[in-house]
Amino acid sequence: MVNLSPAELRDYLEQKQPLLLDVREPWEFDICRLQDSELVPMGRIPTWAEDADKDRPTVVICHHGIRSRQVAMYLENLGFREVINLAGGVERWAREVDPQMATY
């Protein structure tokens, strides 16, 4: 698993089109999200992972980067090849990359 800061992820997204996997709850996702991210709450990850593409680069996102780090480690253990954790989550993304993003 790789941890990328918001600025590093912004630069990475200019080069690649990974799956942006948001593992927060729907109410959190409704407040703010990275563009083109897919919501799969943390509790649904085991079922989601059964049919997911393990070869597609996957960026895991949450509020502060803690849940996403846990999910990223879990996905790596399942054999996902390129897993990235957004360090600091959407909270840090809003502070460092997108100050117009709503926060909570």
Going from N- to C-terminal start, the domains of the chain cover 2-96
Distance CA 75, CA 23 (A): 12
Average pLDDT over residues 36-48: 98
Average pLDDT over residues 48-53: 98
Q: What is the homologous superfamily of the domain 2-96 according to CATH? A: Rhodanese-like domain (3.40.250.10)
Average pLDDT over residues 22-30: 98
Band of residue 55 on the pLDDT scale cut at 50, 70, 90 = very high
Band of residue 89 on the pLDDT scale cut at 50, 70, 90 = very high
Band of residue 74 on the pLDDT scale cut at 50, 70, 90 = very high
Question: Which string of b and e fits 5-32 if b means at least 16 CB within 10 Å?
Answer: bbeebeeebeeeebbbbbbbeeebbeeb
- Cite the active site residues: 62
Which pLDDT belongs to residue 57? 98
Average pLDDT over residues 23-37: 98
Which pLDDT belongs to residue 36? 97
